[in-house]
Chain A
């Protein structure tokens, strides 16, 4: 077999344009040893840089960049706006990395991309002393690291919340939100027996074949005391804990605890169902809090719901960590400026200023309990509890293949196409293949 070292700096654009106009664009791989970027030693060079991210409708990130630009006339930051769709953002950043382009200096990465970008040396390791890592929510630092090396600065974070209909729970004589799956089922039984709960279902999460399913499944496994990968990165899904977790979901569908149509739910469909008063409990992200509490008549549950940490097998469950990191592209120029900029971008003052404009959860724990902040975002203290337990999604290099395998097998189990046992055994085989490389 011939090994081709690809140190050519070209992108082999692959655009199939036939009479039928088939178009597929891709690039040839690169990134061989010849262009290995060294770590901290190379964080030098000052001058203009580019911040690469999705659009930010709140204007909060732009305010930070304006503040930086006002102070640093010779090291201006320009914003390169990528599409809103996360897959497309990743694809553009990967393509830029594969041609080793210097057009992108500072990358706004979804936390699940950290391992892939770090392992491919597409982003540069950060010297630990540039960031106040000890003062951040630990799970966010963990999610910005690969093999114990910090590769990104945590920007904002996200965790799961359990939304419950407190009005109905109170009517059924229940004062505390459930902390275990069994309690949740019991509470459901009491609530659904009430006349005002006619036509409602108990619980839903995100079960469509989509990233949301990976999130919900890994949460269930962690909440049952298991994990998808062990410390050495070997898959561990064919275990009793994973089986408990999967059976919780499969039985939920069978027994009607989870409504049948929840198999088509992504975040928004679940929010709609809860907002229309069709669900007693919903697992979702903090972002829906705002629309649920809207008092303009669009929400039928405003003032009637509460949030708590998601339930687990024997006690509070383990949330999956969402959010974003800011990292430096290995192929960027002016890395010293980039490093200063990400430290500035994620510092306390900027996070605080941004909180007024955007509802993104900060990475400094003190804001979660700051009364000035929680007056606007009352779910923050609960979210902090959720984050203190949170686990990053599988930290594997081939994350795309991993999440695809999880979605395929778990969806098959939820739709009854496979038994939980068979799905988990097949998943174990697939993930072993994926991690082998």
Chain B
């Protein structure tokens, strides 16, 4: 997927100043040396990314065939079925399960990432204020993110069981871990609890780079807190926020352990594409499992691509954009220095 995005997202080489400058600075043999030094990395990437990917693609074209011989032993073979596995997934008898998982995956991703973003930004705003015990609050907010998902899944399962804390507090008898919307809500709550801090921290990092003077100037102009947030904070943390959201998006699309541990496998209302792939491989249907994984991969790639195109998140951080930024930062720094010396 890296290659897809890179090739799609890389803009045509602009003939601007920073790029030219960089070219002039660089000795002619430097490029050759760089590729030589980087080649082990490429070999490793080839082995750990490209090979398994191609292998999965290849595997997804086969289906396990098994029957029993007269003595009850498995006669096993694999037959080439071409796109048969994919056809089965999209139009076969069990395709309903796939569409349900696709819908769940999408629904979970957009709802959780949406709510996480709002809550995460609110966290960041709270943490950005200077107050006593801020470091403590930051550490506390980080804890949910530090707990392994499977463990937090168990933790929430305990909270959500029929005589658990959730029902005690709400004084209800909701069966959170059965099926239906309550199960989905349980997944949302646990997922947001876990990952909103992640967005909060990335956004906080972005906020701390915003110079204080900008806010002071805005205050002088009479902008209220909301106006400051919308016109200064949001636009300036946008790059950090978009990266955070993109990471969460990619992560949420392959959501597996939380619904699996919290609600359980094969529960229709929380079954995601990853769980479906796991289920197939658990039944030794590696062809179908690979096909599911490839479909998920393509789906993730498409969503990431659309996100980057539409919102322009600078995730790849290609060299030109970085150089531009560097130049802009240098300029800003110079301006600030000038301002300071003028004072």
Binding site for B on A (CB under 8 A): 1-6, 12-22, 24, 26-29, 31-33, 87, 91, 94, 118-121, 146-147, 208-210, 260-261, 263-264, 269, 272-273, 276, 278, 397-398, 400-401, 404, 407-408, 411, 415, 437
Contacts and interface: CB of A to CB of B under 8 A. Distances in A.
B290 to A, nearest CB: 6
A122 to B, nearest CB: 9
A272 B266 CA distance: 25
Q: Which one of A24, A210, A261 has the highest number of Cβ atoms from chain B below 10 Å of its Cβ?
A: A24
A17 B265 CA distance: 23
Identify the 9 closest CB pairs spanning chains A and B, nearest first: A261-B162, A18-B1, A20-B250, A15-B52, A147-B72, A26-B281, A20-B300, A437-B67, A19-B1
B5 A19 contact: yes
A14 B52 contact: yes
Given A264-B161, A437-B66, A32 B77 contact: yes
A18 B49 contact: yes
Contacts of A118: 72
Interface residues on B, range: 35 or more
B286 A22 contact: no
A323 to B, nearest CB: 22
B78 interface: yes
Interface in B185-220: none
Contact of A24 (B80, B161, B293): B293
B323 interface: no
Main secondary structure of the interface of A (DSSP, over half): loop
B56 A16 contact: yes
B67 to A, nearest CB: 4
B274 A22 contact: yes
A267 B277 CA distance: 27
Interface string B66-102: 1110011111111111000000000000000000000
B318 interface: no
Q: Which one of B281, B284, B294, B304 has the highest number of Cβ atoms from chain A below 10 Å of its Cβ?
A: B284
Interface stretch (B117-125, B131-139, B173-181, B325-333): B173-181
Given A3-B79, A28-B286, A119-B74, A20 B1 contact: yes
B282 interface: yes
13 contacts: A2-B79, A4-B77, A4-B78, A13-B55, A14-B56, A16-B294, A20-B301, A24-B277, A24-B293, A119-B72, A119-B73, A398-B283, A415-B179
A269 B161 contact: yes
A407 B66 CA distance: 23
Contacts of B53: 16-18
Contacts of B178: 208, 263-264, 415
B233 to A, nearest CB: 29
B266 A263 contact: no
Contacts of B165: none
Contacts of B72: 118-119, 146-147, 397
A20 B315 CA distance: 12
Interface in B209-260: 250-251, 253-254
Contact of A20 (B52, B161, B179, B253): B253
Contacts of A400: 282-284
Contacts of A24: 56, 274, 277-278, 281, 289-290, 293
A209 B62 contact: no
Given A4-B62, A15-B48, A264-B175, A26 B77 contact: no
A31 B78 CA distance: 11
B300 A404 contact: no
A53 to B, nearest CB: 20
Given A13-B55, A16-B53, A18-B53, A26 B264 contact: no
Contact of B177 (A33, A208, A278, A411): A208
A28 B290 CA distance: 11
B2 interface: yes
Contacts of A87: 282
Given A16-B297, A94-B284, A21 B161 contact: no
A22 B71 contact: no
Interface in B1-51: 1-2, 5, 48-49
Given A26-B286, A261-B163, A437-B68, A18 B77 contact: no
Contacts of A33: 75
A14 B177 contact: no
A26 B290 contact: yes
A12 to B, nearest CB: 5
B173 A260 contact: yes
A411 B73 CA distance: 32
B59 interface: yes
Q: Which one of A6, A12, A118, A120 has the highest number of Cβ atoms from chain B below 10 Å of its Cβ?
A: A12
A2 B61 CA distance: 12
